[in-house]
Amino acid sequence: MRKRHEEAPERGTVARSTLDAAKYLVRLGDADRLRKWLAVHSAEARIAIRKHLEATRCPRSARS
């Protein structure tokens, strides 16, 4: 049996994979890499990503 593909996100929303990538980059703690990654996304997407990160309180990774 084949898995049903998820439908494309509605206009004005950000794909789950994009939000997961943002959380990963925040946990890395590499601000420059996050900044470059965000630069290729639309202003609308950046706002949605920021709101999601703030809502989930995405923690940075513990670095020694």
pLDDT > 90 in the chain, percent: 64
Report the distance separating Cα 38 and Cα 54, nearest Å: 15
pTM of the model: 0.70
Q: Which residue has the higher pLDDT, 9 or 44?
A: 44
Please tell me the predicted confidence (pLDDT) of residue 64: 43
Q: Is 11 left (phi over 0), alpha (psi -120 to 50) or beta?
A: beta
Average pLDDT of span 26-39: 95
Is residue 2 scored above 50 in pLDDT? no
**Average model confidence (pLDDT) across the chain:** 82
Report the distance separating Cα 34 and Cα 48, nearest Å: 15
Please tell me the predicted confidence (pLDDT) of residue 59: 62
Residue for token digits 């990160």?
53
